[in-house]
Structure 1
């Protein structure tokens, strides 16, 4: 059983090795930064990277994180947050004239002017299914007779309709999660009373010795459920129950959606003209939003303060994190993603991290044009490959590098799968949940048991997913752009991918989700895992590209004749 939350690429429930020892947990904090030869972990060798950079000067690099939100009060993030130099905080005026009022830390495309925020959204297949249901359902369709636009709509709808069918495996999966959740809540109530506190971790529970049979039964039941569900030893009871509840509610809503359309949360909150890409000045300045866990964790991986002796150290040492909130609980909207990319580019981002994905993209044209816009402005995009243990050469996953209208691949786009380490979980070198693809996944990076910032002034924790692998790569990209600022996005991508060739491509690994042994070279284009030291060595050998700005081609359709309303 391997369900995952597609919008964020965090794996919520997966059968994993049970880590119950505090000493082991502490040893794994920051493993992704370590070096194989020196430390015995398949990390990115960040220590050696900084040794290589000794006495070299850096320039600050803005990294945009398009995500769920960020806690701006987190102790390890406060000093590395991007601040709009042209905007006066809290005065209710669009000081820089960019159409976004008080966008001090970035922008929130999932809100409204009254300060309300969109938290959840239906998945894209459900939105598509009901969008065209009245047009195509129950009618005899001759595809050959349909106009080009209608044919494209019909094919999307038919694919969505096919996937709306609930199979017995999904029903059993939901039943299992609901039963587990019910039992956990019962045990949790007893344990809170017996322990005398409302929050605890599995590690703490394992050390606790109950004084009565009720406590013993609750402890045994709770820990047994945790082992079965695959939650980590340092996850709190509150976190586990909230994640399971969110997953079960979303799954139930999705299964019921074929007959009952889900609420249009977007219409209730944002109220934009969704199908008009040039209606883009909506949202608010609340970059935290109602659930900033994912974005806060991602941001810490990239650039948590390396000098304050607190919490963790990010990959890059001279970055400013710009948060662009565009990812709800559920599938993101293509319009928000496209506008988030443009906002990031227009406000100076040189690297954009996108740790999200989905199976349908009805307005892919908008996202493609935004990626092309970033490409023309020399901005690198790093994307998480997804957590379905799927070959994305055969199964579509969006966003992606294929620019349909141009019939080519964007050269500023890196798609990242998740690697692991023999010391972690099931001991596999490639994460069992990670998507892969010889043509469409560029490189692997650590994405299992990654310790980073959590919402709260001084909170930290472990998460896993390709969502965690992508910011590792984004951090290395920022490091290169910081110390070698004259290199183009294409050259940074080249240096990162070239660094992976140091991996022995003859090493056999398990293909994610299977027991089949394959070489790493069959799972991604580069056949390896990122190495920061090697990437910097490659970057140091490159001469800056001469880019003729007069020949740079910008997309023509998107963002046309669009100005802020005064």
Structure 2
């Protein structure tokens, strides 16, 4: 009984020029023309596949389509020959016993049943295709066709396969091609055909869920039965999955073949198997910052254990419980690469298992800069110390050369200022003599009284000399008393003992006062300390610098030292630290166990195995209560670095602040010395952090001095500043204006490689100021220029003939230009350099420049990949390639006509782009766009979107998707100040938002021209270029890792609330 595979509805859908034909006309066309033209005619039969799978037919003279079709209908199905990638009639009979019985094993009748009923009923008809899985995995398809399986199968063959959609657990086009480099040039349909015809027989792995070799190795009964690879897959699909048989060994058997889980975030669970034939499973994961990691092994049916290994494969910790008891490892780890080994305790006993890896959950915190305050006169002003009280009020002290609260009385006056928890000034006091007067220390007692100390030059019992000076204020700002003591010295620290006495570090002595200002006692020190703290027992810990030999022989010019005295002034112990260079300690803090932490600067290699990165590095060290050194940590950049203050939070973590390259930084360590993170707070001019205070709610208070404009305009010279932050567990400071800050290629590319931040290089200056601001030249100097990375510019078209772009235009090497044929089978004819989705053709050149928006895409492309050829401009990633995707023509209002953004994104992903630049906005979110963003992220393509130019408090779409997918980008000017037009980051720290140059940006324009434009559209390509640099350094980065690195390495611009005034046309395109 001949079969008739022709499907009129499919024929019309597959051949758009025939869409108007009736069923009868479609059949007539197929018989008269379509068959000989090679048109596709059925979702269940394919003559091309039939020809390649049955080579004996050509030898028998059946070479043309008519003869092949006749053979298929009259003999091929009946003989059980393979006739399609999508259906296997033998499998259909095996999978559906009721059909086999009803048709008495007849393949022709089975085919007719499949065609008429089987697909619609959701029956299994292939080892490789599962139409029910296709609907479940692609909800937009399910919605579009209301769950109709026949239409879904039609969509899969005509669209879904080309789009790379998932349609089976046993085969994945992206996985198959990614695993087998020899298949890199094949289209998705060719990949499926290859696997069915030869790949499966060769034992190639085609999906993460099924590996035929492992399946046979793990199931001895199947191997003993002599199942072929084809039969093994059929068994897995028909019964193995239901029986719970493991289909693949997801994890490798050595560290070299470990399953790479990428950057570990949140909680992740994996299922696999160890035992017979597979005694070990290895998993690799990375930590971008120090974290507490929990590993749990459960669901065992035989004894299995786990080991946590470092990057060299050495065991850090193991869990070895007897029998099927669960295993667990919990460990605080530094940033880096690690492995988990799951191994069978008895190679003859097998067990499935669940492996859960998780970072220790942290309380939800809102990561933000709460406020910044800048205090300035027309002269110089310095903040030296900061403290908070139990109500969240903040006090800062320092000195001024000008008039902050009153007319200056002398050369310098001391000042003290109080702010409430919201940063609202409560009061300020300026006081001094005709000479020099300063405050250097401040503290608050348990009753809320405030003590400030420093020096004064004249007056009191030490008239005519410098004298230490201590002043007590009520919380309302009313002075209670003032006292001077100890000539030629000044108060450096103020602490309290458990009896309420005031302990003062006075240089070469320690003084104790009662709460009324009466001096109780003093004792001398062998050397002047820089800092002091008091432990819970009243012992006094001091640290400083010395050229002497105090605790040991001086190792160099200056050594650091730390000493402990009891409350009577008797020395308990003294330790000296130094190298052949110079070291000093500026600060000390004591935890509730009596351990002391000191920090400062070094010109040498103070820590074990340390190498100084410059003339001066920062360091922190821990001593226990008996003075035994526990650890030293040294850190530095290629510039000048030093630690200024150290504080301890309620959990015992150590925070250090100071300067890196004349900008503030904060570093967090655990009490065991594990680095958690370092965050640099960037400004446009030199800014110093001198002091820090931590409260029990996780707020961090900093103060210092700055030459920049942090909050308002700098009043003159250097101003005092203070700020209140909350910082998350990863050290990220999120700001509602700037997000995570200014993108930093020197840090991002280095972190992508697991290296220290790249050294600064000389600025290019001039029109290339944007490259300087994002620190692209620092990456170029290391050889990372975007090579090997394709960036899709989805925009108004790109002038691919521009002399500064033509060498860097992507070429589809599988397509022959202008031959009118879809050579690579990707669904787009002659898409040699990209595709025009507005015109549905391959013309990606921009329209007339009479509408300025038509030059938009060319300007964006130049910022990303302008050729480094000695003229014009140089792109951020000047060796990357631009895939030009034209959304359509731009009208006079800046809107695209006839565009399809979601299809454009999918095209970019499917054709090899690693980065997509979207310098555009949409009116709102919509399902197709979100699905396309998900599609890109799932395939590790990073989408960089302009935040928008409406001065709104949050990014517009598609940038607003950056809470889950891609990066949102705002615009700053050359002074790193937010542009007045730029949309802000918002208050949700999940928004992966950074800023980049977007004001006065010079780049390419159509017709070999150049011009200046502004907008977040100009900022986004700077970030897209930086991502291309990261991927050129480490092409294995996942989308999630790239997002995390980009935001974590950004330079925090967390001070300014100013906006840059802009003039000229703002460049923006929209849908």
What TM-score comes out, normalization by structure 1 length? 0.48
| Structure with the bigger percentage of helix | 1
TM-score, normalized by length of structure 2? Answer: 0.26
| Structure (1 or 2) with the greater strand fraction | 2
Relative contact order, CA 8 A, sep 6+: which one is greater?
A: 1
